[in-house]
Amino acid sequence: MKGVRAALRISRRNARRSKWRSALILAMIGLPVALVSFVLSAVFGPGPMPDHQRYPLGQADALVTGAHEWASLTQDAWGQQISWDGARKQTPFTQAEITALLDPGSRVIPVAQADFRYLTPEGYWMGQIRQVDLRDPMSRGTFRLTEGRLPAAPGEAVVSATMLGSDTAPGVTLFAGEERRPLRVVGVALFDLTGIPPDLTVFPGSLPDSAFGRLDPTLMSHAWLVESPRPVTWADVRRLNEHGLVVVSRAVIDGIPPDEPSWAGPSLPQIAPWVGIMLLEVVLLAGPAFAMGRLRRSREFALVAVQGGSPAHLRTIALADGLLFGVAASVLGAALGVGAAWLARPLLEQRAGYLLGPFAAPWAAVATAAALGVVAGLLAALAPAVAASRTDPVAVLSGRRERGRDRAGRPLPGIVLVVAGTAATIVSAGHELGWIATSALVTQLGLVALTPALIAAVARLAARLPLPLRFAARDAARNRGRTAPAVAAVMTAVVALTAVGVTWQTRLAEGPDYVPDHPQAPAGTLSISGQDLTPELWDRVRSAVRGELPARVPLVEARMLATKSGVPAYASMSIDAPANEMELPDVSMSGDLLVGNEDLLRYVLRREDPRAVAALHEGKAVVLNPAVIRQGQVRLDLAAGPGPDDSQSLTLPAVGVRATGEGWARAVIAPEVAAKNGYGTVITMLVVDPADFRVPRATADRIAAAVERISGKATVRLEVPVAPGNTMLLVVLGIAAAVLVLGMTFVATMLAAAESRPDLETMSAVGAAPRVKRAVVAGQALVIALLGSVTGVLAGLAPGIATARHPAVHQVVILRKDGVSAIVQAGSGPAFAIPWALVGLLVVVLPLLAALGGAVFTRSRLPLPRRRAT
């Protein structure tokens, strides 16, 4: 194409001359590209997590672990699949033995890791503790210290950022394991997510080797980090295997080609409709700005035409704008997005609480986003370019108005598309979201095609309106080529917002969606639950709760089984449905075997039951679901402590007693029964039975605050249905709506005001007051915003309702607290719910705000009629 260079030069210089317009267009194309690039880089930047590795190697050359009995073992490169012959007996290597087997000059430091129960001032935690010297160069790269210092002596620890709380902050002393070994927190660090990230990392010698349990290569319970004078090869690995050592070598795993990503992101058909909708929105957004540019430069186009520019040349010059802005905005946007993702990594890591992998921008995906930005720029410049190619130079240069070439759109294809899209939306209701989005896109394209006809229809209704509105409506209709994209842009945004709003509101109206939202206690119950509090903490909690309640209101205490040393034991009973199909709404993690007196029994059964009380006193288990009783006995599997080794079973005489209504524990036993069988008990819950006293919401809030001050490990819950709040919905969608609708309306209004200048001159000449100009501009803003919003809301309802039907109603089997399984209809709320506040905002508040803004930001001085050269 001839003259492309000249065209690009004109675009470039013009872009520099009208900085505001350029910035606006750059933002409109660049920001979506930046946003997409940022999300892509933030999500895919760290790359897939290496799920083969058991322990982060850091700067070490290898990690070894093993036992003398494992001699002649075989392993894979990751040390994951290991097989050996030999007895269960393990004789671990000593550090000297390991060093002797390695190349001379190798350096070895021990690393150990295991699950521990540790005590904080607010109660117990369970989590991994790693024992390694973080100051050693070999540990480098496995962590980043964010606060305090590294442990330098036995008894010192850093806490993982994910576990940082008031009870684990630097300065606090924790007590690990049964022996309550003191660990003083001296710093906070982010840890690599490889293997099992630790809650705490302690200095070597803080915990005895024996505390880390059996030798287990998959848990890296007892291992050594190796610094070798030369890379550890596969041959070295095989040689060490002969001695009984499992080796994970950096040199070996670095040589393994990376896995194919198991999840390659959404497929093309899944994202195509969203890309289409976004592209449509960006094109409609930026289109009016390009149209404004063409209008301002109409004289320039005329001059070029006079000097021999053919229509194709003029089109090229106008399209060069699209190319220039598309490329510039996309490159800037992509760079901004990737750069922001890179800069945000420390923040993301801090937020995630872990070190993310090495950053690698997903260039292919980012380039695709940028390419779409360029396409958007070209598409947005297309209509103005066609208009520019039709410039009548004689008309422009002599100051005559160009004859309008606007047609009333193409109603028939528009109607066909709208009907087809709506039908497809109805059909796709409750199906894959991609189908609904595709149908919505088809409807959108139809509506965009129909917009000019719609504007014309509105103008015909405007005859009775006051002058500014009448003028605005007629002017909009007369310049449909300019008005239609603006209205369509507002409409497209509003369609998306309405659809999201309807879906969101419907989800809110559907009620509980996840397990903890199912009832955990009789309605009106106040419960304070937590199994990790010490008796002293429970005493303080109890007196805090008592202080807020009237005297004589009983505080029912529920305990659960524990080991002699006080480690809670989870009790499981056989259930009559496969566990994988069942949801277990047991937030207390006790297995719902409660230990207590007749008050507890009354609370659980929801009635006084002398037979049950008698059974309890006789030392029998009162079981609410008789189906699990076999020959008068119930069998419990008890799991306590960190390891699977600690699982034990307990068989108790039992009586089946059905509760009145739903029962609130699977079984109740007396504390004496626990003691007789060699178990201790710990408090798991304090309850105010609503039959005794209904705790008011305000009191519950005060109790919650008081308990929070004592320990973060206790949960206060008032069992009342909570009405779903849609404040979040309003804030998020409201802000998006305000930005999109007002922004687009203002751009389009500026354009309209610029174009109607001759008319305003005439009005001025015949004596119109200055405020008439303000009123006219306000009217122009109102016409665009109102038309776009109203059609958008109407068009957004269908995809919104269709999406709200997805996923369709399905059944969930839950195991009630009394051990009886029940079927719950999930998603059985109303078919759809309209967010009326959002709709009101869209069709009333925002158009009025747009009109007000148009009036406020317009200079009221009317232009003087300008003499033109003839």
Partner 1 sequence: MTEHHPPDRLPVPDGEPVVRLTDVVRVHGEGTRAVQALRGVSLDVHTGELVAVMGPSGSGKSTLLNLAGGLDRPTEGSVTLEGRELRGLSPKQLAELRRRSAGYVFQDLNLIPSLTVAENVALPRELDGVRTAKARRDALAVLEEVGLADLGDRFPDDLSGGQRQRAAIARALVGERRLLLADEPTGALDTRAGDEIIQVLRQRADAGAAVLLVTHEPRYAAWADRVVFLKDGQIVDSAAAGMETAR
Phi, psi of 22 (to 5 degrees): -60, -45
Query: Is residue 809 near partner 1 by the rule CB under 8 A?
Result: no
For residue 3, the minimal CB distance to partner 1 (Å) is 4
What sign does the dihedral 590-592-598-602 (CA atoms) show? positive
Query: Is residue 309 near partner 1 by the rule CB under 8 A?
Result: yes
For residue 752, the minimal CB distance to partner 1 (Å) is 24
| DSSP H helical ranges for 297-432 | 298-306, 311-343, 345-352, 363-389, 393-397, 411-428
- Classify residue 725 by its DSSP letter: P
Which is closer to partner 1, CB of 9 or CB of 239? 9
85 touches 72 (CB < 8 A): yes
Q: Which of 299, 401, 407, 607 binds partner 1 (CB under 8 A)?
A: 299
480-509 helix and 268-296 helix, angle to the nearest 10 degrees: 140
Tracing tokens 């021990």 back to the chain, one arrives at 110
Which is closer to partner 1, CB of 324 or CB of 851? 324
Cα 671 to Cα 602: distance, rounded to the nearest angstrom: 16
Query: Is residue 394 near partner 1 by the rule CB under 8 A?
Result: yes
For residue 778, the minimal CB distance to partner 1 (Å) is 32
Cα 436 to Cα 473: distance, rounded to the nearest angstrom: 34
Which is closer to partner 1, CB of 303 or CB of 515? 303
Piece of 80-88, 296-304, 601-609, 783-791 that binds partner 1 (CB under 8 A):
296-304
Which is closer to partner 1, CB of 237 or CB of 324? 324
- Classify residue 182 by its DSSP letter: E
For residue 16, the minimal CB distance to partner 1 (Å) is 8
Residue type for position 721: P
Query: Is residue 5 near partner 1 by the rule CB under 8 A?
Result: yes
Which is closer to partner 1, CB of 14 or CB of 563? 14
Query: Is residue 10 near partner 1 by the rule CB under 8 A?
Result: yes
Report DSSP letters for 758-793, one per residue. Answer: HHHHHHHHTT--HHHHHHHHHHHHHHHHHHHHHHHH
Which is closer to partner 1, CB of 268 or CB of 869? 869
Query: Is residue 308 near partner 1 by the rule CB under 8 A?
Result: yes
For the chain, helix, strand, coil in percent to 5 are 50, 15, 35
Residues touching partner 1, count (CB under 8 A): 29
Query: Is residue 386 near partner 1 by the rule CB under 8 A?
Result: no
For residue 807, is the peptide bond before it cis, meaning its omega torsion is within 30 degrees of 0?
yes
Q: Which of 126, 348, 386, 397 binds partner 1 (CB under 8 A)?
A: 397
For residue 15, the minimal CB distance to partner 1 (Å) is 9
Q: Which of 310, 565, 574, 825 binds partner 1 (CB under 8 A)?
A: 310
Interacting residues with partner 1 between 841 and 870 (CB under 8 A): 869-870
Which is closer to partner 1, CB of 6 or CB of 691? 6
Which is closer to partner 1, CB of 14 or CB of 479? 14
Q: What is the gyration radius of the CA atoms in the chain, in angstroms?
A: 36
Piece of 11-19, 47-55, 323-331, 850-858 that binds partner 1 (CB under 8 A):
11-19
Which is closer to partner 1, CB of 83 or CB of 307? 307
Q: Which of 126, 303, 415, 738 binds partner 1 (CB under 8 A)?
A: 303
Query: Is residue 399 near partner 1 by the rule CB under 8 A?
Result: no
Query: Is residue 13 near partner 1 by the rule CB under 8 A?
Result: yes
For residue 512, is the peptide bond before it cis, meaning its omega torsion is within 30 degrees of 0?
no
For residue 276, the minimal CB distance to partner 1 (Å) is 35
Query: Is residue 229 near partner 1 by the rule CB under 8 A?
Result: no
Per-residue exposure over 379-399, b if at least 16 CB sit within 10 Å of its own CB, e if not: bbbbbbbbbbbebbbeebbee
Query: Is residue 17 near partner 1 by the rule CB under 8 A?
Result: yes
- Classify residue 211 by its DSSP letter: G
Which is closer to partner 1, CB of 10 or CB of 186? 10
Query: Is residue 2 near partner 1 by the rule CB under 8 A?
Result: yes
Q: Which of 16, 89, 405, 861 binds partner 1 (CB under 8 A)?
A: 16
Q: Which of 23, 49, 152, 312 binds partner 1 (CB under 8 A)?
A: 312
Which is closer to partner 1, CB of 281 or CB of 321? 321
Cα 490 to Cα 741: distance, rounded to the nearest angstrom: 5
Piece of 308-316, 446-454, 495-503, 825-833 that binds partner 1 (CB under 8 A):
308-316
Residue type for position 261: P
Who contacts 483 (Cβ-Cβ below 8 Å, separation ≥6)?
452, 455, 476, 477, 748, 752, 783, 784
Site mask, partner 1, residues 137-176, x = CB under 8 A? ----------------------------------------
- Classify residue 500 by its DSSP letter: H
Who contacts 372 (Cβ-Cβ below 8 Å, separation ≥6)?
33, 275, 278, 279, 330
Piece of 302-310, 488-496, 605-613, 832-840 that binds partner 1 (CB under 8 A):
302-310
Phi, psi of 55 (to 5 degrees): -150, 135
Which is closer to partner 1, CB of 106 or CB of 316? 316
Q: Which of 115, 147, 227, 300 binds partner 1 (CB under 8 A)?
A: 300
Cα 64 to Cα 241: distance, rounded to the nearest angstrom: 10
For residue 260, the minimal CB distance to partner 1 (Å) is 49
Tracing tokens 């369970």 back to the chain, one arrives at 126
Which is closer to partner 1, CB of 313 or CB of 478? 313
Which is closer to partner 1, CB of 313 or CB of 482? 313
Report DSSP letters for 249-310, one per residue. Answer: EHHHHHTSPPPPPS---S-HHHHHHHHHHHHHHHHHHHHHHHHHHHHHTHHHHHHHHHTT--
Query: Is residue 14 near partner 1 by the rule CB under 8 A?
Result: yes
For residue 764, the minimal CB distance to partner 1 (Å) is 23
Which is closer to partner 1, CB of 303 or CB of 416? 303
Q: Which of 304, 508, 561, 665 binds partner 1 (CB under 8 A)?
A: 304
- The torsion region of residue 180 among left (phi > 0), alpha (psi -120 to 50) and beta comes to left
- Closest-CA residue to 318 (of 340, 341, 343, 300): 300
Query: Is residue 6 near partner 1 by the rule CB under 8 A?
Result: yes
| Residue 677 burial by Cβ neighbours in a 10 Å radius (0-12, 13-18, 19+) | middle
Which is closer to partner 1, CB of 4 or CB of 849? 4
Q: Which of 30, 79, 393, 596 binds partner 1 (CB under 8 A)?
A: 393
Query: Is residue 210 near partner 1 by the rule CB under 8 A?
Result: no
User: 362: which 2 tokens?
Assistant: 């997903």
User: 440: which 2 tokens?
Assistant: 């919505």
For residue 290, the minimal CB distance to partner 1 (Å) is 16
Piece of 4-12, 482-490, 655-663, 724-732 that binds partner 1 (CB under 8 A):
4-12
CA 686: distance to chain centroid? 34
Neighbours of 210 (CB within 10 A): 6
What sign does the dihedral 336-342-343-345 (CA atoms) show? positive
- Closest-CA residue to 396 (of 6, 751, 762, 869): 869
Neighbours of 26 (CB within 10 A): 21
Which is closer to partner 1, CB of 9 or CB of 540? 9
Piece of 84-92, 373-381, 393-401, 854-862 that binds partner 1 (CB under 8 A):
393-401
For residue 398, the minimal CB distance to partner 1 (Å) is 7
Residues forming contacts to partner 1 in the complex (CB under 8 A) are 2-3, 5-6, 9-10, 13-14, 16-17, 299-300, 303-313, 393-394, 397-398, 869-870
